[in-house]
Amino acid sequence: MHEHSLEDTKNGNRVAIVGNPNVGKSVIFGLLTGRYATVSNYPGTTVTLTSGSCKAGGEDLWVTDTPGVNTLIPMSEDEVVTRDILLNQAIKLVVQVADAKNPSRGLQISLQLAEMGLPFMLVLNMWDEANSRGIDINVKKLSDAIGITVIPTIGVQRKGIKELRESLTEERYSSLSISYGNLIEDGIKKLEAILPQSRISRRSIALMLLAGDASLKPWLNKNVSPSDVTTIDAIRRDLQNKFYEPLGYVINQIRLKKAEKIVEGVLSRHQKSGSNVTVHIGKWAMHPVWGIPVLLAALFLMYEFVGVLGAQVLVGLLEEGLFGNYINPYMTFIAERFIPDLFFRDLFVGEYGIITMALTYSIALILPIVGTFFIAFGILEDSGYLPRLAIMVHKIFKLMGLHGKAVLPMVLGLGCDTMATFTARVMETRKERVIVTLLLALGVPCSAQLGVILGMLGGVSLTATLVWAFSVILVIFLVGYLSSKVLKGESSDFVFDIPPLRIPVLSNIVFKTLSRTEWYLKEAVPLFIVGTLILFTLDKIGGLEVIERIASPVVVSFLGLPAKATEAFLIGFLRRDYGAAGLFALAQNGQLNPNQVVISLVTITLFVPCVANLLVMIKERGLKTGLAIVAFIFPFAFLVGGVLNFVFNLLGIKL
């Protein structure tokens, strides 16, 4: 890949941006490299590495943006990524980004970087917010105290970035050191004698090991003999027996004290510059009672924007207007003139034609819906509302045996399940990651699908919408609850940082929407074309009828749908939004009654979202787990649809 060759040449000039979650690392990365890395106002936006080149003082640097960490002793998979880059790669300079509002939190990481013996500099970002909260940090004093360059910045206003860039060529080592008391220092010495030389100091690795860092196992097995690994374990156990609290906790507390002491010497407070309205709104959004109207208001605005503007107005303009009146008739006209062969003509403009089906569906039906959803979702992400939503629903998630953190991947799934499956890395235990992956694949409709579904349901009735939502939510809870009982493992405690509510930055919304739309066009549209080609081929060889006949006991008898719905399910295997679009088209033609709309939508909502999601599931959770999830989901989706049909018939419900 292009990046790899660049990576090799930049080997000696690597800069890594590290720091706590949600402090503006990706904003600063973007400003330094000109490459966009997703920026959002919630912790855990970045879960993998992104790199780009950056010119500084005549030097070419290769800068890497990393997932946020609370400590360099990793608790979750995304944190391992960051620690490992420091452990395994030749880093010329670490740029630590910290939140100027909360310097002691950042300094705990500075202390660990100093311990590792890595050259680093400290960026105090969000200087504007610190200021409006009455926090003043004496930069010169802080810089003297740590012995490295400290630069205040306001990422979103590009302030301080020039100074930052100029300092990137300096290589300064911190003078900070901590003493952890005789007992621990003794343990450190013993471990240092065993540990091999590596990129970071023996002392820092010794401390990670004492703190009980299990993620170091692969590194240990590679670099230390098995007998030494046993000795290390024994030393650690001996030392732990002398403490009442877990060693990791003891070590963190000592670091925290030291960080607070440094902050004491450099921080002063002044009068706040005016009261902050967003603080109050932020509180309401988390309130157990007031949170609900706030949520409803957010959903209502979203529905108006996506369901009405996107799914009705824009789809109308594009589908009936642009494609219906111009592109499709015009293309059909051209095809009739220039392609004499009926077979090839149909390939482009027939019932399953690339233009009349694949492009019409993807550009006229799905794009406007996804586009408006991306904008709305981007605004939600950047406002800081999502973590507040997480707080509100964390009690319910706890019932399912899940951490409140899980709401983030689940809510992000509404944007794109594939991306959200990556974000499941923020969950601390494997059990939680598997459950989140399963629930995402099973029940969380992605933006494209959600838009199409809402568009369809909006045309039926509010009751139909509620029945659909209720069925899907019920299934999520049931499956979530049962799987947390079946899967072994701990579910972790609730610690969560809530970022301040912010007014979204327009340019970021634009960037984010553009990059997501580009992704949609690149990833989804080709799959739509493949799906259409499959339908086209099946239709031509008469396979479609055969499949419809075979599927008839399930689709027609069990689900109570017309045989033609089989096509939608067929392409739904490739992407469920495409399947939903197929159902949309059926409903538009009046081939589905309201009951059938709800049954078919519930069934397709429960499908695995798309091939991309399937691949990421396998990549992230392993082949066995990935396939097991799929093997469960498909029959289960039809089962739920069938049960719904049965209940409708039994109770004589007509929506």
Q: Which does 22 bind (CB under 5 to 8 A by kind): Mg ion, ligand GTP, none?
A: ligand GTP
Q: Which does 24 bind (CB under 5 to 8 A by kind): ligand GTP, Mg ion, none?
A: ligand GTP
Contact partners, residue 491, CB within 8 Å, separation at least 6: 398, 401, 402, 403, 429, 431, 432, 484
User: Do 72 and 80 touch, CB atoms closer than 8 A?
Assistant: no
Q: Return the number of the residue (353 or 384) whose C-beta is nearest Mg ion.
A: 384
Residue 182: exposed, middle, or buried by beta-carbon count in 10 A (0-12, 13-18, 19+)? exposed
Q: Which does 502 bind (CB under 5 to 8 A by kind): Mg ion, ligand GTP, none?
A: ligand GTP
Q: Which does 44 bind (CB under 5 to 8 A by kind): Mg ion, ligand GTP, none?
A: ligand GTP
Q: How far is the CB of 585 from Mg ion (least distance, A)?
A: 39
Q: Return the number of the residue (108 or 645) whose C-beta is nearest ligand GTP.
A: 108
Q: Return the number of the residue (44 or 353) whose C-beta is nearest ligand GTP.
A: 44
As a whole number of angstroms, the distance between CA 556 and CA 538 comes to 20
User: Do 441 and 613 touch, CB atoms closer than 8 A?
Assistant: yes
As a whole number of angstroms, the distance between CA 273 and CA 132 comes to 5
Q: Return the number of the residue (346 or 382) whose C-beta is nearest ligand GTP.
A: 382
372 makes contact with Mg ion (CB under 5 A): no
Q: Return the number of the residue (64 or 449) whose C-beta is nearest Mg ion.
A: 64
Helix (H) or strand (E) holding 596: helix 594-605
CA dihedral sign of residues 420, 421, 427, 433: positive
Degrees to nearest 5, angle at CA 94 with 91 and 99: 160
Q: How far is the CB of 173 from ligand GTP (least distance, A)?
A: 24
Q: How far is the CB of 92 from ligand GTP (least distance, A)?
A: 21
Binding interface with ligand GTP (CB under 6 A): 21-27, 39-41, 43-46, 67-68, 125-126, 128-129, 154-156, 382, 502, 505, 508
Q: Return the number of the residue (426 or 559) whose C-beta is nearest ligand GTP.
A: 426
At 420, list the tokens. 């959200």
66 makes contact with Mg ion (CB under 5 A): no
Helix (H) or strand (E) holding 500: none
Do strands 150-152 and 120-125 pair parallel, antiparallel, or not at all (unpaired)? parallel
26 makes contact with Mg ion (CB under 5 A): yes
How far from each other are the two terminal CA atoms of the chain, in whole angstroms? 54
Q: How far is the CB of 47 from Mg ion (least distance, A)?
A: 9
Q: Which does 115 bind (CB under 5 to 8 A by kind): ligand GTP, Mg ion, none?
A: none
Partners of 55 in the beta sheet? 60
DSSP assignment of 13-30, as one string? GEEEEEESTTSSHHHHHH
Q: Which does 27 bind (CB under 5 to 8 A by kind): Mg ion, ligand GTP, none?
A: ligand GTP
User: Do 55 and 70 touch, CB atoms closer than 8 A?
Assistant: no
Q: How far is the CB of 506 from ligand GTP (least distance, A)?
A: 11
User: Do 58 and 38 touch, CB atoms closer than 8 A?
Assistant: no
Three-state SS across 627-649?
HHHHHHHHHHHHHHHHHHHHHHH
Q: Which does 21 bind (CB under 5 to 8 A by kind): ligand GTP, Mg ion, none?
A: ligand GTP
Q: Which does 130 bind (CB under 5 to 8 A by kind): ligand GTP, Mg ion, none?
A: none
Q: How far is the CB of 387 from ligand GTP (least distance, A)?
A: 11
Contact set for Mg ion, span 34-63 (CB under 5 A): 45-46
437 makes contact with Mg ion (CB under 5 A): no
Given the rule CB under 5 A, which residues bind Mg ion? 25-26, 45-46
